[in-house]
Copies of this chain bind each other. A is one copy, B any other.
Amino acid sequence: MQSNSFIRRNLLIDKSLRERAEKVIPAGMWGHMSIAALPEGYPQFFAQSKGSRLTDIDGNQYIDFMCGYGPIILGHKDPDVDAAFIAQMREIDLANGPGEKLVDLAELFVDIIPAADWAMFSKNGTDATTACVMIARSKTKKRKIAIAQGAYHGASPWFTPRLAGTTPEDRSHLVYFNYNDVNSLEEVASSVGDDLAGILVSAFRHDTRADQELPSLAFAKAVREVANRTKSALILDDVRAGFRINLGGSWESLGIRPDLSAWSKAIGNGFPIAAVTGNDHFREAAQKVFVTGSFWTGAAAMAAAEATIQKLLRIDAIRHMEKLGNMLREGIREQALQLGVKVRQTGPVQMPQILFDEDPEFRLGNKFCTTALMHGVYLHPWHNMFLSTAHTESDIEMTLAATQYGLEAVAAEQ
């Protein structure tokens, strides 16, 4: 196995930037990119990126398995996407209405996504999930939205995972089932009588700090069936998984089609764009809701999304990510077996989650990841990770050299 030439040196500039940041930003950072919940050793600030590599503010380089927490699907600074963005920006970006790219992109979404008869665009995944819920309520004239316990569907008051700053009324019409549990879904559906507006469900169970679970076919069928029976909307939250599982939608290979889907993250390879797609039954309801944002019609991000999709189609992206994801998973499995380390690798191989047995506080996971980080590989101890099409076999080999060190460190802790 090839040895990894990256050795992390220091985080001196990062430390001084964090000190500056603490003065002018609450806690120095907010949201999912704060390193406050990560073990010591993670850099907060980054300086450069290219393909599968990220360089932190101190010049330490990493093979990146977070991909900006998902958006980077063709690799950092993909030349084709960046060129499309800049070319569009030189013509027109934000104006008093959209550019032609809006229609091109909506047509492309409708073309590649079998469940989609129409599309609308916005900026955040939360914009998209929120609009789906509004459209479902607008169509059905009902109120209740069923979501899986523990699932993340955005950071609005109505489902942000932390309750600070929210009121009970923000979520008074949410009801909860357990992912992959048909009985709990049926129970929750009957508990709300005639009032179910929608079932909002992630492409697969990708809660933080937990093993991932693909949807069972029985569960996906039950979601569709309950939605049909109750005349509610099946809303697929494809924000995190979209375009990594199936370019036609993450449930397409199950043969289950949502009424509405929320997209964001990977659709513009890191440029800010989100989308709602829906079928014709929900078209009129979609017209009635008022959702908007200052930058939602920006043409440059739409050009980036068009270029991203065209390239994903052209290079058989999902097969590439699956192949390398399998190589990584299989390599780690063998390493762990040899070392007697009990590791659980769950979810789709291109969106790996790596957790350790008997590790409720992530002590082992943290050791694994910080050791890998020292050897130039950026993994996450409890959030699912992401491969991109820029990862190469050589990247995976170098990564496996780092995970070998990481698993040895875990073995020594056990």
Q: Which residues of A contact B (CB under 8 A)?
A: 17, 20-21, 23-27, 29-33, 35, 43-49, 54, 57, 64, 66, 68-72, 76-77, 82, 85-86, 89-100, 102-103, 106-107, 109-110, 117-120, 122-127, 130, 133-138, 143, 155-158, 160-162, 164-167, 169-170, 172-173, 239, 264-265, 270-272, 274, 278, 283-298, 301, 378
Contact = CB atoms under 8 A, between A and B. Distances in A.
Contacts of A297: 31, 33
| 7 A-B pairs closest in CB distance | A31-B292, A134-B165, A272-B295, A138-B165, A162-B290, A26-B286, A46-B95
Nearest to A282: B26
Contacts of A30: 120, 286-287, 291-292
Nearest to A140: B165
B288 A165 contact: yes
B103 A17 contact: yes
B71 A94 contact: yes
A89 B76 CA distance: 10
Nearest to A126: B293
B43 A97 contact: yes
Which of A85, A166, A278, A293 is most buried by chain B, counting CB atoms within 10 A of its CB? A293
A284 B26 contact: yes
B167 A138 contact: no
Contacts of A69: 96, 294
A124 B289 contact: no
